[in-house]
Amino acid sequence: MKLHQISQLLSGELSTGSNPDFEITGIGKIESAQSNEITFIANPVYEKFFSGTSAGCVIVSKKFNALLYKRLDDRIVPLIKVEDPYLAFLTLLDVLSPKTELQKIGIDQTARISDTAEISNIDVRIGANAFIGELVKIGDRVSILPNTVILAGAEIADDVLIYPNVTIYNGCKIGSRVIIHSGTVIGSDGFGQAKNPDGTYQKIPQKGIVVIEDDVEIGANCSIDRATIGETIIRKGVKLDNMIQIAHNVEIGENTVIASQTGIAGSTKIGANCMIGGKVGIVGHISICDNVILTAATNVSKSITKPGMYSGYRAQPMQSELRQEAIIRSLSKKK
Amino acid sequence: MKLHQISQLLSGELSTGSNPDFEITGIGKIESAQSNEITFIANPVYEKFFSGTSAGCVIVSKKFNALLYKRLDDRIVPLIKVEDPYLAFLTLLDVLSPKTELQKIGIDQTARISDTAEISNIDVRIGANAFIGELVKIGDRVSILPNTVILAGAEIADDVLIYPNVTIYNGCKIGSRVIIHSGTVIGSDGFGQAKNPDGTYQKIPQKGIVVIEDDVEIGANCSIDRATIGETIIRKGVKLDNMIQIAHNVEIGENTVIASQTGIAGSTKIGANCMIGGKVGIVGHISICDNVILTAATNVSKSITKPGMYSGYRAQPMQSELRQEAIIRSLSKKK
Amino acid sequence: MKLHQISQLLSGELSTGSNPDFEITGIGKIESAQSNEITFIANPVYEKFFSGTSAGCVIVSKKFNALLYKRLDDRIVPLIKVEDPYLAFLTLLDVLSPKTELQKIGIDQTARISDTAEISNIDVRIGANAFIGELVKIGDRVSILPNTVILAGAEIADDVLIYPNVTIYNGCKIGSRVIIHSGTVIGSDGFGQAKNPDGTYQKIPQKGIVVIEDDVEIGANCSIDRATIGETIIRKGVKLDNMIQIAHNVEIGENTVIASQTGIAGSTKIGANCMIGGKVGIVGHISICDNVILTAATNVSKSITKPGMYSGYRAQPMQSELRQEAIIRSLSKKK
Q: Which residues of A touch C147 (CB under 8 A)?
A: 129, 147, 165
Helix H or strand E segment including A26: strand A26-27
Q: Answer yes or no: do A182 and C133 touch at CB < 8 A.
A: no
Q: Describe the crossing of helices A318-334 and C318-334 by its angle, rounded to 10 degrees.
A: 90
> Quick check: C322 contacting A, CB < 8 Å?
no
Interface residue B104 vs chain A (CB under 8 A): no
User: Would the pLDDT of B329 be above 80?
Assistant: yes
Calculate helix-pair angle for B318-334, A318-334, nearest 10 degrees: 90
Which residues partner with A269 through β-bridges?
A: A251, A287
Q: Final residue of a domain: which of C96, C115, C140?
A: C96
Neighbours of C322 (CB within 10 A): 15
Name the residue with higher pLDDT: B42 or A130: A130
Cβ under 8 Å to A: B residues 190-249:
215, 217, 219-221, 237, 239, 241-243
Give φ, ψ of C194 to 5 degrees. Answer: -100, 130
- Residue B281 included in any domain: yes
ipTM of model: 0.88
Give A94→chain C minimum CA distance, Å.
7
Give dist(CA B124, CA B105) in Å, integer: 6
Classify residue A108 by its DSSP letter.
Answer: -
Split at pLDDT 50, 70, 90, the class of B43 is: confident
Does residue B332 lie in a domain region?
Answer: no
Verify that C67 and C193 share a domain, yes or no: no
pLDDT higher than threshold 60 for residue C335: no
pLDDT above 80: residue C98: no
Element (H or E) spanning A134, and its range? Answer: none
Mean pLDDT confidence for C43-66:
92
Is residue A326 one of the residues assigned to a domain? no
**Which residues partner with B246 through β-bridges?**
B224, B264
**φ/ψ of residue B38, rounded to 5:** -105, 150
Residue B101 to residue A134, Cβ atoms within 8 A = yes
Checking if the pLDDT of B22 tops 70, the result is: yes
Set B4, B181, B248, B285: catalytic member: B248
Judge contact between A132 and B127, C-beta under 8 A.
no
Q: Total structural domains in chain C?
A: 2
Whether A14 and A113 map to the same domain: the answer is no
| pLDDT at B55 (0 to 100) | 95
C182 touches chain A (CB under 8 A): no
- Whether residue B260 is found in the same domain as residue B183: yes
Domain carrying residue A254: 106-279
Three-state SS at A238 = coil
Report which DSSP code applies to B23: B
Residue C94 has pLDDT above 90, yes or no: no
pLDDT, position C90: 82
> Is residue C296 assigned to a domain?
yes
**C196 CA: distance to closest CA in chain B (Å):** 32
Nearest to A24 by CA among A74, A76, A59: A59
Give B74's DSSP letter: S
Last residue of a domain, one of C53, C81, C96: C96
How far are the Cα atoms of A116, B35, C295, C296 from residue C262, in angstroms, in the given order?
43, 50, 11, 9
Helix (H) or strand (E) holding C3: helix C3-9
Residues 255-314 of A with CB under 8 A from C: 255, 257, 259-261, 272-273, 278-279, 296-297, 313
Q: Is the pLDDT of residue B335 over 60?
A: no
Contact check, Cβ <8 Å, A100/C153: yes
Tell me, what CATH number does A33's domain have?
3.40.1390.10
Selected residue of C155, C324, C329, C331 to mutate for chain A interface (largest A Cβ count, 10 A): C324
* Of residues B167, B192, B187, B171, the one with CA closest to residue B266: B192
Q: What is the CATH number of the domain that holds B290?
A: 2.160.10.10
- For residue B244, give Cα distances in angstroms to B10, B186, B311: 36, 11, 19
A233: β partners: A211, A251
For residue range C211-264, what is the model confidence (pLDDT) as tens digits? 999 999 999 999 999 999 889 999 999 999 999 999 999 999 999 999 999 999
Assess whether A115 and A239 both reside in one domain: yes
Q: How far is B144 from chain C (nearest CA, A)?
A: 15
Residue B92 and residue B241 share a domain? no
CA angle B175, B204, B280 (to 5 degrees): 55
- Which of B203, B281, B327 comes nearest C335 by C-beta? B327
* pLDDT tier for residue C39 given thresholds of 50, 70 and 90: very high
B271 in the same domain as B227 = yes
Measure CB to CB from residue C220 to each of B149, B205, B223 and give the nearest one: B223
What one-letter code names the amino acid at A269?
A: K
Residues of C in contact with B279 (CB under 8 A): 279
Q: Which of residues 109-138 of C touch B (CB under 8 A)?
A: 110, 127-129
Residue C236 to residues B208, C142, C253: CA-CA distances in angstroms?
27, 18, 8
Q: Are B38 and B56 a contacting pair, CB within 8 Å?
A: yes
Instruction: Note whether B223 and B167 are within 8 A (CB).
Output: no
Model pLDDT, residue A12: 95
Q: Which residues of chain B have a CB within 8 Å of the CB of C183?
A: 167, 183-185, 221, 223
Residue type, A96: L
A264 and A128 in a single domain? The answer is: yes
> Does residue A147 sit at the B interface (CB-CB below 8 Å)?
yes
Q: Which residue has the higher pLDDT, B41 or B91?
A: B41
Kindly state whether residues B307 and B276 are assigned to the same domain.
Answer: yes
Q: Could you give the C-alpha distances from A224 to A130, A179, A263, C301, in angstroms and in order?
A: 20, 14, 10, 28
Pairs across A and C, CB distance < 8 A: 172
Percent of chain C residues past pLDDT 70, beyond the cut: 99
- The active-site residue out of A4, A181, A248, A285 is A248
Q: Answer yes or no: is B312 within a domain.
A: yes
Q: Is residue A148 part of a domain?
A: yes
pLDDT for the residue B334:
61
Task: Confirm if A147 and A128 have CB atoms less than 8 A apart.
Answer: yes
Mean pLDDT of B210-237: 97
Are C327 and A329 inside 8 Å of each other by CB?
Answer: no
Q: Is the pLDDT of residue C334 over 70?
A: no
Does residue A70 contact residue A51 with C-beta atoms inside 8 Å?
yes
Distance of CA B201 to the CA centre of its chain: 37
List per-residue pLDDT tens for chain A, 335 residues long.
999 999 999 999 999 989 999 999 888 889 889 999 999 998 888 888 999 999 999 999 999 988 888 888 888 999 999 998 988 888 888 788 767 789 999 999 999 999 999 999 999 999 999 999 999 999 999 999 999 999 999 999 999 999 999 999 999 999 999 999 999 999 999 999 989 889 999 999 998 999 999 999 999 999 999 999 889 999 999 999 999 999 999 999 999 999 999 999 999 999 999 999 999 999 999 999 999 999 999 999 999 999 999 999 999 999 888 888 888 888 777 64
Q: Are residues C197 and C309 in the same domain?
A: yes
Residue A248 annotated among the catalytic residues of the structure: yes
Which of these, B268, B250, B187, B259, lies nearest to B217 by C-alpha position? B259
Q: Please check whether residue C26 touches B, CB under 8 A.
A: no
Both C193 and C53 in one domain: the answer is: no
Considering only CB atoms, which chain C residues are within 8 Å of B225?
219-220, 242
Asked if residue B139 and residue B14 are part of one domain, the reply reads no
Percent residues over pLDDT 90 in chain C: 79
**Residue of chain A nearest B130, judged by CA positions:** A129
The pLDDT of residue A334 is 61
pLDDT at C317: 94
Surface of B (74-93) touching A: CB under 8 A:
86-87, 90, 93
- What span, in angstroms and rounded, lies between the C-alpha atoms of A229 and C191? 32
B85 and B131, same domain (yes or no):
no
* Confidence (pLDDT) at B100: 74
Q: From start to end of C2-103, where are the E strands?
A: 13-14, 26-27, 37-40, 57-61, 79-82
Report the alpha-carbon distance of residue B112 to residue B122 in Å, rounded: 19
In a domain, A305, yes or no: no
Residue B216 lies in a domain: yes
Q: Could you report the per-residue pLDDT of C267-297, keeping only the tens digit for each?
A: 999 999 999 999 999 999 999 999 999 999 9
Domain limit, last residue, from A62, A96, A130: A96
Inter-chain residue contact C191 with A86, CB threshold 8 Å? no
